[in-house]
Each structure stands twice: as structure tokens, then as C-alpha cells.
Amino acid sequence: MKEKIKGIIKDILDIEESDIKDDALIVDDLGADSIAVMEIVMEIEDEFDVEIDTETIPNFKTINDIVAYLEK
Amino acid sequence: MKARIIDVGKYVPNLSISNEDFTKIMDTNNEWIVQRTGISSRHFSEINTSEMAYQAVLNLLENTKFNKEDIEIIIVCTCTPDAYSPSVANLVKKKLKLSKDIPSFDINAACSGFIYGLKVVQGLIESGLYQNIILVGSENLSKLLNFDDRSTAVLFGDGAGAILVQGSNQGIIDTLIYNKDDINGAINIPNGINIETPFTNNQCSGPAHIQMKGQDVFKFATKVCINMLKEIVVKNNLTFNDIKCIIPHQANLRIIEYAIKMLGINKDKFVITLESLGNTSSASIPIALDSIKKELKKGDKLIFVAFGGGLTYGVSLLEW
Ligand SMILES: CC(C)(COP(=O)(O)OP(=O)(O)OC[C@H]1O[C@@H](n2cnc3c(N)ncnc32)[C@H](O)[C@@H]1OP(=O)(O)O)[C@@H](O)C(=O)NCCC(=O)NCCS
């Protein structure tokens, strides 16, 4: 799951996968703007066939946060 | 009989407001707005929706040399009318000073208005009821902006676009329109309408302003934009290679770019005018059409796709 999420983030932000550490901050460290975060969420929804409430998006600071949310 | 768009006209107000201008009245900056939306400036109107619609119709009549007396019906798509009544279409008809009484009415489907209008026009022409229809998208959104809300105030602009549609052997091929319940109140222009009589429990509200949950709208818009484009080509046994150009509702460049990426379509096929106009709601598609009409040849296939408050959405496939 983590690898798939990293793949999505890599594609959207156009960065190297090796730069994407599990605890990297998606906005501050990886350079996503608020709309790129939305795009990441939308692709995760498609990939994992889930519906993510937009109100929970501000909680997704790192990849670990996203994984924890999806595992719940 | 098909409904064919013969020509298009537009009206864009002179007053252009740049992102820089916004920095003087609120805490914002050009980089934020351009990066998140693609919008650099927009036009604000000092005249109301009906006068803008009228100016677009005059421009159309001048372009087509069509005799105004031959217009059989006038339909205006707008969510920003001058008044509860008369309708904007009634006002446009009055300004045209026609010698006959012809019907005129408005359609409100927010930013999808123009697609809803096309569906109605298509039905009126295909059924043989009318042959010469004026369809206008006109919006004065600036009058409904909340200049204390930086996340919505920078997105919208004013303008109008008008088309002449006539019966022909080619034209609109297919139009699909939908309405999904806006359960979370993602985009609204509430208030301004009070229930207030000496006999009722009065319900009064504040001034009418555009309110939006930007992320919910972003998600809705991208999803329906992608799905609509896929649906209309598949339904009509076409591929995107058969399409000369796609005119999406001009809400946000990031919505359009995301759809382009997910669909794998060449960006050059998409007409984009929002940089200098912002989101002009139901006027955005006819204004964008006006900007490319000289490049179009008879038989070219086009798609219009829109989404907006309601939550309304729709798509139209046509042959020029
Ligand atoms: C409106 C939109 C650009 C906002 O982008 P977003 O990524 O959702 O931004 P958010 O609302 O989450 O705001 C992110 C931050 O930017 C700030 N911000 C919002 N507007 C700003 C502006 N004009 N200038 C500077 N900062 C702004 C917010 O205050 C927020 O700051 P905070 O995190 O410190 O609170 C985006 O949601 C969008 O375009 N949605 C679709 C809207 C649309 O097209 N509607 C019409 C459909 S017909």
C-alpha cells in the first residue's frame, strides 16, 4: 500500500521516489500545494476504491498518516 | 432536423481587475492565485446582466448579419439575474425593440447553464417547434462576491456570450445534463431572499454572496468533467481523435489540467480562456467558443463540458 501511495505522490509532484520518506511532510518537504494534496487524495480514492471526506484531508501530513487512515 | 450553431458573439466589460489589484484589498498574492487557479485577471462589469446579454446579442447580430426580426425565441442562461422578474431574457427582448411578441425566458443551472440551454434549444429545434433561436449565457457575478472571502472573490468574472442556433442537417449530436444533490452545500449563492410578511415567522438572511467549499467543488468538478467526456465519446462511438476541440467550463486551470492528465488527451485540444477572464459561469463556454470560431471548419466536432452549483453538470457534442 505504501509503495502505491508513493507512486501516486511521485507522479503528481513529479519528484524522485527516493525523496519520498515515510515521515516526509507532503506540503513542506515534498512541495505539494493544497490542490496537489487534493489530487493525491483523489487518486488514492480511485486506487483503493475508498471515499475520503475532504474534512479529513488536513490530517494527512505524511504518508504514514495516509496509510494509518486507510488501514482503519 | 438538427440544431446548428450558426455564429457566436460576446461582450466582455472593459474594466480588468488583476491579481495585483486584489492584493490592495485583501491578504492575497499573484503567485498563490496563478498557481492554484491559472487566473491572472478578470473583468468586472458596471452594467447589469441583461445589458451585458444584450451587448453580446448585438455583437452576434453584427457578426451574422441576421435580421433581429427573424428571431423566434430568446433564452438566457444566468444565475445572476437583474431582478426576480422580469427575466433577463425578457429584458434583452425589450432592449432589442422587436416588432413582434416572441417568447423569452431564463434558465438557471449555475455554471452548467449553457449546456442546459443547449439541451432545451436542441429539443425545440429537433421537434420542429422553432427554427431560429438566440441562446445567451450572461453573468454579473461580481455583484455576488464576498470581498472578505479571498478563496472565492478571486475566482469569478463577468461577461456574456450569445449564439444563433438554426435548424439544419448537421449540428448538435448529443447533449447530456444531470443534477447531483449538493448534500454538503459545496457551492451556493444563498441569502438575499427573505421570507418576511406581517403574518409569518420571518426568515431573514444576510446579503447574497457566493459561498463555496473549494475542495468539495474541486473533487466534484474533476470527476464529472472526466466522466462526462468519456461518456459522450463512447456513447457516440467516437474517440478523442475524432474531436477537433474541447471547451470546458472555465473554472480553474488545475481542474482542466487534472482532467487532461487522467484522460490522456493532448492539451492543445482544450480551449482555455480563464487566464484573463476568470470563471464567468454560464458565459464561459460561449465566450471561449467566440475566441476560436475562426479556426473552426464546417464538420469539425466539438465538445462542451460544464459543472457547477446545484450540483449541475452536462456535456454537449456537436458538429460545427
Ligand atoms: C478555491 C480553490 C482555488 C482553493 O484552493 P484550495 O487548495 O482548496 O485551498 P484551501 O481553501 O484549502 O486553502 C489553502 C490555504 O490558502 C489560503 N487561501 C485561500 N485563498 C487564498 C488567496 N486568494 N490568496 C492567498 N491565500 C489563499 C487559505 O486561507 C488556506 O490557508 P490556511 O491553510 O493557512 O488556512 C480550490 O479549492 C478550487 O479552485 N476549487 C474549485 C472551485 C471552483 O472552481 N468553483 C467553481 C465551480 S463552477
pLDDT digits (tens, 9 = 90+) for B267-298: 999 999 999 999 999 999 999 999 999 999 99
Q: Distance (Å, rounded) from C-alpha B177 to C-alpha A71? A: 37
Q: Does B215 contact A38 at a Cβ distance shorter than 8 Å?
A: yes
Percent of chain B with pLDDT over 90: 92
- Per-residue pLDDT of B192-241, as tens digits, reads 777 888 888 877 777 789 999 999 999 999 999 999 999 999 999 999 99
Mean pLDDT of chain B: 96
Report, as an integer, the average pLDDT of B166-188: 95
Rounded to 5°, the CA angle B97-B102-B105 comes to 100
- B155 CA distance to ligand 1 middle (Å): 10
Q: Does A34 touch chain B (CB under 8 A)?
A: yes
- Give the closest residue to B45 by CA, choosing from B84, B78, B86: B78
At B282, the amino acid letter reads: S
Residue A26 pLDDT level (bands cut at 50, 70, 90)? confident
A54/B216 CB distance under 8 A: yes
Choosing from B79, B245, B249, B252, the catalytic residue is: B249
Q: What is the pLDDT of residue B298?
A: 95
Percentage of chain B modeled with pLDDT above 70: 100
**B11-62 pLDDT per residue, tens:** 999 999 999 999 999 999 999 999 999 999 999 999 999 999 999 999 999 9
Q: Residue A14: what pLDDT?
A: 87
First and final C-alpha spacing in chain B? 15
Q: Does pLDDT of B263 surpass 90? A: yes
A35 lines ligand 1 (CB under 6 A): yes
User: Does the pLDDT at position B309 exceed 80?
Assistant: yes
Q: If 0-12 CB within 10 Å is exposed, 13-18 middle and 19+ buried, where does residue B23 land?
A: middle
List residues of A with catalytic annotation.
33
With CA atoms as reference, report the closest residue to B80 among B94, B68, B91. Answer: B91
Residue A8's domain is classified under what CATH number? 1.10.1200.10
Contact B219 A33 (CB under 8 A): no
Packing angle, helices B284-292 and B113-126, rounded to 10: 80
Q: List the domain range (segments joined by +) for residue A57.
A: 2-71
Residue B156: the pLDDT is: 97
The CB of B170 under 6 Å from ligand 1? The reply is no
**Closest approach of A19 to chain B, Cα-based (Å):** 23
Gyration radius of chain A's alpha carbons: 11
Chain B residue numbers with beta carbons less than 8 Å from the beta carbon of A42 are 219, 222-223, 258
* Domains held by chain A: number: 1
B59, B90, B108, B111: the active-site residue: B111
Task: Tell me if B258 sits within 8 A of B234, measured CB to CB.
Answer: no
Rounded distance from Cα B104 to ligand 1 centre (Å) = 38
- Pocket of ligand 1 contains residue B179 by CB under 6 Å: no
